[in-house]
Structure 1
Amino acid sequence: MDFSGNGTEESELYHAQVHLYKHVYNWVSSMALKSAMELGVADAIHNHGKPMTLSELATALKLHPSKVGVLHRFLRLLTHNGFFTKTKVPSENGEEEGEIAYALTPPSKLLIRGKSTCLAPIVKGALHSSSLDMWQSSKKWFTENKEQTLYESATRESFWDFLNKTTESDTLTM
Structure 2
Amino acid sequence: MEEEAKAGVDIWSYAFGFVKMAVAKCAIELGIPDAIGSHENPISLSELSSVLGCEPSRLHRIMRFLVQFQVFSEKPTSQGATGYVHTPLSRRLMKQSENSIAALLLFECTPVMLAPWHCLSAWVQSREDIPFVAAHGKDLWSYAAEDASHSKLLNDAMACLARTSVTAVINGCPDVFDGVGSLVDVGGGNGTTSRMLVKTFPWIKGINFDLPHVVSVAPESDTIQNVGGNMFQGIPKAHAAFLMSVLHDWDDDECINILKKCKEAIPPENGKVIIVEAVIGEKDDDDRLDFVRWTLDMIMMAHANRGKERTLKEWDYVLTKAGFSRYNVRRIPAIPSLIEAFP
Map of 1:69 onto structure 2: 57
| Alpha-carbon distance in 2 for matches of 1:102, 1:157 | 42
**Structure holding more helix per residue:** 1
SS in 1 for 2:117: helix
Map of 1:166 onto structure 2: 153
Structure number with higher relative contact order (C-alpha < 8 Å, ≥ 6 residues apart) = 1
TM-score by length of 1: 0.71
| Alpha-carbon distance in 2 for matches of 1:47, 1:55 | 16
- Asked if 1:31 corresponds to 2:22, the answer is yes
Structure 1: 5+ residue stretches without partners: 1-7, 92-97, 170-174
| Alpha-carbon distance in 1 for matches of 2:7, 2:96 | 43
Map of 1:140 onto structure 2: 122
| Cα-to-partner distance string for 1:70-125 (whole Å, 9 max, x where unaligned) | 2212112212222211111231xxxxxx1111111112212222344332110101
Q: CA deviation at 1:59?
A: 0.6
Map of 1:53 onto structure 2: 44
Q: CA deviation at 1:19?
A: 2.4
Map of 1:126 onto structure 2: 108
Map of 1:94 onto structure 2: none
SS in 1 for 2:113: helix
Structure 2: 5+ residue stretches without partners: 145-149, 157-343
CA 120–152 in structure 1, closer or farther in 2 if over 3 Å, else same: farther
| Alpha-carbon distance in 2 for matches of 1:108, 1:164 | 26
Calculate the aligned-residue CA RMSD, in Å.
Answer: 2.9
| Alpha-carbon distance in 2 for matches of 1:61, 1:146 | 44
| Alpha-carbon distance in 1 for matches of 2:30, 2:36 | 12
| Alpha-carbon distance in 1 for matches of 2:51, 2:94 | 15
What residue identity is the alignment partner of 2:49?
A
CA 119–133 in structure 1, closer or farther in 2 if over 3 Å, else same: same
- Asked if 1:103 corresponds to 2:85, the answer is yes
Identity between Structure 1 and Structure 2 (%): 25
* 1:90 aligns with one of 78, 86, 93: 78
| Alpha-carbon distance in 2 for matches of 1:145, 1:38 | 37
Q: How many residues align?
A: 150
Map of 1:95 onto structure 2: none
Aligned partners of 2:33 and 2:86 also within 8 Å: yes
CA 47–137 in structure 1, closer or farther in 2 if over 3 Å, else same: same
| Cα-to-partner distance string for 1:114-151 (whole Å, 9 max, x where unaligned) | 34433211010111122222211111221227885x44
SS in 2 for 1:102: strand
SS in 1 for 2:99: coil
**Structure holding more strand per residue:** 2
| Alpha-carbon distance in 1 for matches of 2:93, 2:125 | 37
What residue identity is the alignment partner of 1:74?
I
| Alpha-carbon distance in 1 for matches of 2:23, 2:109 | 11
